[in-house]
């Protein structure tokens, strides 16, 4: 495992996290060996006075302008889909219609100040658009040089497989990255988790099997630390996580953390990074201290016994 396996989540850069702090975090991440930055064109409309997104992309663009040469050192990932049609009203979003995607990538590239986005995500499902059209449109972005690689987020496994079958049949670019959420502890099945409103946003056993059998598909994990619930008493796990499996897993997690002299959240990141399949956690931080903890987690080594104990707890 290495720092370059971590992804720096930039969701609140330019809104909740001010410009000075955001720039410092970006500098620190790259200096430590980090390479991958994850954002979206809708970030963070809910934290913006305008009710529209784009602030995170704009801040990243300004950081790149202030640091000539750093563009070659980083991988820029951004997304399209959930931006509200009416600013501030998330009940209706722009979705994945071909004209929306074509227009959105141009706007994202302008805010980022780049010719090419390294990884472009279909951020959510849009079943109002035929999947064939989604595949064709995203493939066009690669063919015309605006995007280097494609990702798909918050989609069920069968739709990911179908999309890539369509891409293969059409001879166009497939989706080679999948972004979902999971963590060491998981909520009860068939429960609604506050703040997680994507029906197919969670990793399942089927997801793990699919990624394992398709090694060309990378798995990225958002919210891997459940908003700090492992390490902060003021941020308890949401109610759907309250079940015996969580109790048993947390007990083993704290044992291993004590053995390593690490925080539980750091062990969770190490567990994700070193698993089979490996999962790339997206770490959202708002201070240098939080970033340093995440960076240290990338160097944390779980021995076979520790990993086996963590895996076996149910």
The interaxial angle of helices 131-143 and 157-170, nearest 10 deg, is: 60
**Cβ atoms of 26 and 55 closer than 8 Å:** no
What's the start-to-end Cα distance of the chain, in Å?
A: 25
Dihedral of CA 82/72/280/256: which sign? negative
DSSP, collapsed to helix, strand or coil, labels residue 269 as helix
Cα-only R_g, the chain: 19
Q: Measured between alpha carbons, how far is 278 from 280 in angstroms, rounded to an integer?
A: 7
Q: Which of 43, 120, 222, 230 is catalytic?
A: 43
**Is 120 tagged catalytic?**
no
Residue 7 CB burial class (10 angstroms; 0-12, 13-18, ≥19): buried
CA distance linking residue 18 with residue 286, whole number of Å: 9
d(CA 62, CA 56): 10
Q: Is 217 exposed, middle or buried (0-12, 13-18, 19+ CB in 10 A)?
A: buried
Cβ atoms of residues 175 and 164 within 8 Å = yes
Residues labelled as active-site residues: 43
């Amino acid at each position: 495992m290495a720092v370059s396996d971590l992804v720096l989540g930039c969701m609140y850069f330019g809104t909740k996290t001010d410009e000075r702090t955001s720039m410092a975090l970006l500098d620190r991440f790259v200096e430590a060996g980090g390479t991958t930055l994850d954002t979206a064109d809708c970030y963070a409309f809910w934290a913006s006075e305008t009710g529209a997104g784009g602030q995170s992309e704009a801040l990243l663009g300004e950081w790149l302008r202030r640091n000539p040469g750093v563009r070659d050192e980083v991988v820029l990932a951004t997304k399209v889909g959930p931006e509200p049609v009416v600013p501030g009203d998330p009940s209706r979003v722009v979705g994945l219609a071909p004209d929306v995607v074509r227009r959105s990538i141009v706007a994202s590239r302008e805010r980022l100040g780049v010719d090419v986005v390294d990884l472009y995500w279909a951020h959510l499902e849009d079943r109002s658009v035929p999947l064939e059209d989604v595949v064709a449109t995203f493939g066009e972005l690669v063919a015309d040089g605006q995007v280097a690689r494609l990702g798909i987020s918050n989609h069920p496994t069968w739709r990911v497989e179908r999309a890539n079958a369509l891409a293969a049949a059409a001879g166009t670019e497939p989706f080679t990255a999948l972004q979902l959420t999971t963590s060491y502890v998981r909520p009860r099945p068939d429960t609604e988790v506050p703040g997680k409103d994507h029906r197919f946003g969670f990793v399942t056993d089927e997801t793990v099997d699919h990624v394992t059998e398709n090694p060309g598909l990378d798995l990225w994990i958002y919210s891997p630390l459940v908003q700090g619930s492992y390490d902060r008493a003021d941020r308890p796990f949401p109610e759907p996580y309250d079940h015996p499996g969580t109790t048993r897993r947390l007990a083993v997690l704290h044992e291993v953390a004590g053995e390593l002299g690490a925080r539980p959240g750091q062990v969770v990141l190490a567990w994700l990074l070193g698993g089979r399949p490996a999962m790339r956690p997206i770490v959202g931080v708002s201070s240098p201290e939080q970033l340093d903890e995440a960076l240290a987690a990338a160097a944390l080594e779980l021995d076979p016994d520790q990993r086996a104990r963590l895996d076996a707890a149910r």
